[in-house]
Amino acid sequence: MFSTSSIIEKLNKEEGLEYKKLCRLLKLSKKNDKDKLDIALHALEALEIINKNNNNEYFSVKESNHLVAKIRCSSKGYCFAVRDNTKEDIYIRENLLNYAWNGDKVLVRIIKEGVRKRSPEGIVDCILERTNQILLAKVEIIKNEVYGIPIDDRILSKIKLPKEDEKYKYIPDDKNIVKIEIDLFPIGQQEGIGHVIKQLHLNNNEKLDMDFVLSKSNINKIVKLQDPKLASINQQPRLDLTNKNAFMFKSWNAKNSPTLPIFQIEKNKDNSYKLWIHTNSIAERLDLSSKKSIEIFFDSFESFPLLEKWQPYLSDEICNSSRFNVGEANEAISLCIEFDSDNEIINWSFQLTKVKCSFLVESKHLDALLTRKSGSRITSRILKPIKDYIEDLDKIIEISKLFRRKQIDQGKIEIPKPNTNIDSLKELLVHNPGDYSKEYFEPLDKNDIQTYISPLLYLANSIWFRHSNNYGLDSASYIPQELDYINVSEIVKNSELIDSKIELNENGTLTFKQLIELCSDENRKRILHKLLINLLRDNEVKLITNELNIIDSEKFVSPWTLPAFDFTNLINQYNIYHMIINGKRSKNINGNIINIMEKDSWNDVNWGIYNSSILKNMHLLFNQQIIEKVNDYKNKIKQYRLNMINIKQVRKAEKLVGNDYSGLITSVQSYGFFVEIKELFVEGLVHVSTLSNDWYEYRTRQNLLIGRKSKKSYKIGDTISIKIIKVDILKYQIDLELV
């Protein structure tokens, strides 16, 4: 089915399209679908978003006063049209939403410019893409009609249901939520229409949590995976490294987890060395040269854990054929980084190789390596199987620590992941070394060996960015935010967290590193970490083209080392593969063929690397529409992970209602304060209405609640005694009261 967005996208790429050609591009053949297209075209013309020329060809109006944005609504009913991180959000009043829902992609027209600190105001003229085709709702009877009331209070519409769906009427004790498929979205005076496709009885029924969370995160189907046309492995000679020791460092245990790279070290007598990073070669196994082959990924751009197993975004056939198994030779796309004796990079090169994984190194091996006594001749039981590899492993660990220190020195910060002791969540909380959505690192942790490969993959991914950028090639990358300094007004309100006197610079700012170092108490430091996480915006994948003037390229990463994890890694690896295979080569002034895959080779190259055919293929992969779809899907997965953690924490608290605990106040608001229960690592709310012994007012500047009579105050960092009084599975909410 087409969307308004797809119509505009097709017209943006052409000077003009006749009706029949537009139908072919949108793959419309049924009369019913063409009738809907006619309505859409008429509406877009009326809004002056598209037009028609004398040849009856449709084209996009270039000077339109409409802005593309996404609707973001709060539970209190405030709605904004959000553009990108660099542009101001636009406030949309509820009566000007035109039935746009939270998450919808829309065209907005500004009707009132912003002044001072007030946002500009706008109106939604056109909904380009709907984010929800399926809603979670409660079935209720209103004036003898059956309606689905969305449990997401950011969606401001009810959906009319057929009379037979009355049997799903919501019963609070049963928590019988339903999944509703939308048949007709609300428009004008027409109510939204849908029908129930499934009922979920959530009360004391944890086996339905996964289905509920996926639906609430707007991941409404686990797609049947298929690959685009498979390509045969390239037969050109590969560097055979199967006789060299190579190691995989792995913490993921669930079935179908993404294949991780393997690492190899070569040491020289002069203390220089080479670090090899071998990635499983997925890109060369897929033909991504057509729109049809790329569209296969549009329902699934990323692999993610389903507690006991992973949901991969690639089929079993491609994953199994490219997987690194211990003792088995397989093809790889590899990066060789050469270091001098001072650990400075002197060269790098990308190559096609054949490799063999010698050993799977787990967290227990890492712990034994890090805690063994220096100079001891006795080898522990855990280290005996790898005694021949210890020297190599020590060196790889040493390099990892070295480059994490360098990354911190460049302004990055480390924030530990939240504590939890819920067994079913373990796979979700294992460090993902391929995730760059956060503007901070997880610290190196001997209990999670994947944290130790993170600095090495960050290095490899930043090297590809520098290499591709110097050659003017497109890439899908993460751009760091300017986080060397942060305005500390929010931190000052919570100055009780910090033991030392805060000294700000003339701009009233403070570095992240200084801020964390000023907080010595572990409980307060944990709260500070939470506060910082809330202040930081997530990174998104960005399309980097040769038109951008990148100055400090060392801080950018173009992920390619985990192609089994997500589409971003896959297309960047695809670019590397084609540069190796199809990149144009020539001789330098000395008559030697220039190796375009080596560091600094671009200084001798003054020609285009790709021919027109390869460039066309790359532009299919590296375009803004695909990057937007990738980010949309990543946001869904982010919500799924958060929601999965939340519901399991609430399930745990559900079994402990009535119990007393000691808790730590982690946040204070006008309506109450949030408390972390130390023993359970869950967080709940003490609502101000339960503080019945006094009238409490919220003091914004000090960020605390204080009683008018008693002067009793509640502030961040206080330890108090509380009781769990109620949980709400649907809202992932835990209610507490003081003991």
Q: Is the pLDDT of residue 223 over 50?
A: yes
CA angle, residues 26, 32, 38, in degrees to nearest 5: 65
**Longest Cα–Cα distance in the chain:** 89
Instruction: Assess whether 403 and 446 both reside in one domain.
Output: yes
| Cβ atoms < 10 Å from Cβ of 1 | 9
3-state secondary structure 635-688: HHHHHHHHHHHHHHHHHHHHCCCCCEEEEEEEEEECCEEEEEECCCCEEEEEEH
Instruction: Assess whether 342 and 474 both reside in one domain.
Output: yes
| Cβ atoms < 10 Å from Cβ of 472 | 14
Residue 485, pLDDT score: 46
Residue 534, pLDDT score: 77
Residue 512, pLDDT score: 64
Instruction: Assess whether 328 and 182 both reside in one domain.
Output: no
pLDDT tens digits, 653-710:
999 999 999 999 988 999 999 999 988 889 999 999 999 888 999 988 778 899 999 9
Q: Is the pLDDT of residue 27 over 90?
A: no
Residue 730, pLDDT score: 92
Q: Which of 83, 100, 129 corresponds to the end of one domain? A: 129
Instruction: Assess whether 416 and 337 both reside in one domain.
Output: yes
Q: Is the pLDDT of residue 377 over 70?
A: no
Cα of first residue to Cα of last residue in the chain, in angstroms, is 56
Residue 499, pLDDT score: 57
Half-sphere exposure of 211 (CA within 13 A, CB side): 14
The rounded distance, in Å, linking the Cα atoms of 521 and 527 is: 10
Query: For position 726, which CATH number holds?
Result: 2.40.50.140
- The answer to whether the CB of 658 falls within 8 A of the CB of 646 is no
Q: Which residues are 57's β-sheet partners?
A: 18
Residue 502, pLDDT score: 60
Instruction: Assess whether 394 and 327 both reside in one domain.
Output: yes
Instruction: Assess whether 138 and 32 both reside in one domain.
Output: no
User: Mean pLDDT, to the nearest integer, of 3-29?
Assistant: 83
Q: Is residue 410 part of a domain?
A: yes
Q: Is residue 651 part of a domain?
A: no
More confident: 118 or 346: 346
Number of structural domains (the chain) is 6
The rounded distance, in Å, linking the Cα atoms of 689 and 687 is: 5
Q: Is residue 120 part of a domain?
A: yes
Q: Is residue 230 part of a domain?
A: no
Distance (Å) of CA 430 to CA 223, 250, 257, 426: 24, 10, 11, 6
Q: Which residues are 352's β-sheet partners?
A: 333
Instruction: Name which of 588, 594, 739, 599 is nearest 675 in CA terms.
Output: 739
Instruction: Assess whether 440 and 521 both reside in one domain.
Output: no
Instruction: Assess whether 475 and 517 both reside in one domain.
Output: no
Distance (Å) of CA 295 to CA 28, 30, 576, 630: 16, 21, 21, 12
More confident: 636 or 410: 636
pLDDT tens digits, 271-329:
999 999 999 999 999 999 888 889 889 889 999 999 889 999 999 899 999 999 999 99
Q: Is residue 422 part of a domain?
A: yes
pLDDT tens digits, 464-492:
999 999 999 999 999 877 654 455 555 65
- Sign, Cα dihedral of 373, 375, 380, 384: positive
Residue 249, pLDDT score: 97
Q: Is the pLDDT of residue 93 over 60?
A: yes
Q: Which of 515, 535, 555 corresponds to the end of one domain? A: 535
Q: Is residue 8 part of a domain?
A: yes
| pLDDT bracket for residue 202 (50, 70, 90) | very high
Q: Which of 203, 221, 248 corresponds to the end of one domain? A: 203
| pLDDT bracket for residue 504 (50, 70, 90) | low
Lowest mean pLDDT among 37-51, 169-183, 246-260, 671-685: 37-51
Instruction: Assess whether 195 and 310 both reside in one domain.
Output: no
| pLDDT bracket for residue 39 (50, 70, 90) | confident
User: Mean pLDDT, to the nearest integer, of 542-557?
Assistant: 77
Instruction: Assess whether 186 and 329 both reside in one domain.
Output: no
Lowest mean pLDDT among 61-65, 202-206, 595-599, 641-645: 61-65
Q: Is residue 447 part of a domain?
A: yes
Looking at 316-389, list the stretches that DSSP marks H as alpha helix, in order from N- to C-terminal side: 316-322, 363-371
Q: Is residue 292 part of a domain?
A: yes
Residue 83, pLDDT score: 83
Residue 292, pLDDT score: 86
Instruction: Assess whether 305 and 344 both reside in one domain.
Output: yes
Instruction: Assess whether 555 and 622 both reside in one domain.
Output: yes
* Domain ranges, residue 145: 134-203
Mean pLDDT of the chain: 88
